[in-house]
Amino acid sequence: MIKISRNTGNIKLTGLDLWQPTFQQLCRAFSTPKIDPDKLNAGYFLRCAGTKRGNETVADTADLLILDGDSRIGIDGTVTNGAVNPMELHLLLNWLNIDHFMYTSHSHTKAHGFDDGVNKYRVLIPVTYTRQQLPALLGWLFDRMTDNGIELVNVKENASWAQAWFMPCMPMERAHLFKTWWRVGGKSSNPIEGFELEPAPPFDVAKICADYQNKQSLVNESIPMIAPVARVPMANLSANPIEAFNASFRVHDVLIRNGYKQQGKRYLHPNSASKIAGVRILDTGRAYSDSSDSLNDGKSHDAFDCYRLLECGGDMKAALNWNRELTKQNQRAFYEVPEPKNPHLENQNVGLRKLVESPSVKGSNADNSQISTATTV
């Protein structure tokens, strides 16, 4: 039996009823969606027991771990709307012998993983754990996904204790797209060929949490702090201060000098309350954060952008002035290069060239890697 709360009415209603189904009964109840164009009318449920929605009014122990399949990390390191192919995650959970139930959500538009459209789904895993243990369980699961090339984004809703999750619901015109994947008591909707599934034992939550913390502590002791790489000589620096910074420093260097601790493939934020490393460096060399730091904005960041956010408080002008010698070099070039005269105008005063404003100066959301023009500061 699992204990969760639910409300079968509108999402605006905060009152909750206790629901104590077996996991198999829950899967059966969620196998048929409500047909409604407005998902707000679908009803919702919480991961734990409570009489009213809110962090302070629900129990501190939950019987259901919930993942939101909403977005993925693209090959260029940016977050992309729409999750990874649900079948890939389902097969991984099968291989890990983890009972689960997955169902497509209201905004899902793919008939299967290879059609045009967007994958949107939720994953329900029966396991008992406390509020304090939730970060370690999420960290453990997402590490398994990353190790297997499944770049699902660990969205903030996964860690929100009293998060309201919609019951299965689809509009009539997309009802045929509703799909489920499950594994209950060792039986799977899509068993792996040649792999005999075994009934899933309960998560050993205490062991997972202890091993996760111990592993991080051991890694901290075994990996020394690495000093920033030497700056490139001025003669070899690009006139673009962003390109010059990225040529002089790696993302790793900026994280380390700002107090982050490397823990295997991840980095622990110095002020992390959960003590779970939530920052990683992608194959592109850019940083992506699931932690409670300023890098957690749903985007990936190169070394310069990490410096701008961590050391300059997000101030682009201050960040561009990271090397005063380079700034002076740009200023000299700015004042020394006049705009060409127009021979058709008489008494024309020679004016200085105009500033070339890079995409990064226009907005921090721009991709720094695309900058090719010299920036004058």
pLDDT tens-digit profile of 129-141? 999 899 889 988 9
Mean confidence (pLDDT) of the chain:
79
Say whether pLDDT at 373 is over 70.
no
Highest mean pLDDT among 121-135, 192-206, 225-239, 313-327: 121-135
Say whether pLDDT at 219 is over 80.
no
Give the start-to-end residue ranges of the domains of the chain.
4-209, 234-370
pLDDT at 234: 47
The mean pLDDT value for 63-69 works out to 96
Say whether pLDDT at 91 is over 80.
yes
Say whether pLDDT at 81 is over 80.
yes
Q: Could you tell me which residue, 365 or 71, shows the higher pLDDT?
A: 71
pLDDT at 115: 56
Q: d(Cα 155, Cα 297) in Å, to the nearest integer?
A: 11
pLDDT at 356: 30
Task: Look up residue 11 and give its amino acid.
Answer: I
Question: Among 162-171, 197-206, 348-357, which stretch is predicted with the lowest mean pLDDT?
Answer: 348-357
pLDDT at 161: 94
CB-neighbour burial class of residue 230 (10 A; exposed 0-12, middle 13-18, buried 19+): exposed
Say whether pLDDT at 236 is over 60.
no
The mean pLDDT value for 347-357 works out to 36
The mean pLDDT value for 204-231 works out to 60
Give tens-digit pLDDT for 22-64. 999 999 999 999 999 888 888 999 999 999 888 889 999 999 9
Question: Among 83-92, 137-146, 357-366, which stretch is predicted with the lowest mean pLDDT?
Answer: 357-366
DSSP string, 30-71: TTS-EE-S-GGGS-EEESEEESBSSTTSEEEEEEEEEEEE-E
Q: Output the CA torsion sign for 120, 123, 124, 128.
A: negative
Confidence band of 105 (pLDDT split at 50, 70, 90): very high
The residues, any chain, with a CB within 8 Å of residue 88's CB and separated by 6 or more, are 113, 150
248: tokens are: 């002089």
Confidence band of 157 (pLDDT split at 50, 70, 90): very high
CB-neighbour burial class of residue 338 (10 A; exposed 0-12, middle 13-18, buried 19+): exposed
pLDDT at 131: 92
In the block, tokens 């982050």 appear at 260
pLDDT at 39: 86
Give tens-digit pLDDT for 313-348. 999 988 888 888 777 777 666 555 455 555 544 444
